[in-house]
């Protein structure tokens, strides 16, 4: 039994570049029948263009696990620090502060 526990441990390495993290204030999620794609973006106020900083591709099963893990962590955070307040309502399509397109 002890040998089985040793085999199930996962050694995760985190290099310095990844450990620094990447700031994002927007996530855009798309999906197909076989995968979810999450693009993390840093939008700067007043600029009409933004670049994807990181893209994560997940299976539908892993996307659902991530959703549950985020919900659990938000619940724990709010229990310790109070409710997280939404700053502004999200509207679709999104306006990123640049000029409005005209036809």
Q: 88 pLDDT band (50/70/90 cuts)? A: confident
The two most distant CA atoms of the chain are separated, in Å, by 68
Q: Kindly report the number of other CB atoms within 10 A of residue 36's CB atom.
A: 19
What are the C-alpha distances in Å from 102 to residues 46, 99? 18, 9
pLDDT digits (tens, 9 = 90+) for 33-86: 999 999 999 999 889 899 999 999 999 999 999 999 999 999 999 999 999 998
């Amino acid at each position: 039994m002890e040998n089985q526990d040793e085999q199930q441990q996962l050694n995760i390495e985190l290099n310095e570049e990844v450990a620094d993290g990447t700031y994002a204030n927007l996530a855009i999620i798309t999906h197909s029948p076989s995968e979810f794609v999450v693009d993390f973006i840093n939008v700067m106020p007043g600029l009409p263009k933004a670049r994807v900083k990181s893209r994560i591709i997940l299976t539908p099963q892993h996307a659902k696990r991530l959703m549950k893990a985020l919900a659990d962590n938000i619940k724990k955070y709010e229990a310790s620090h109070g409710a997280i307040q939404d700053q502004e309502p999200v509207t679709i399509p999104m306006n990123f502060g640049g000029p409005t397109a005209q036809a």
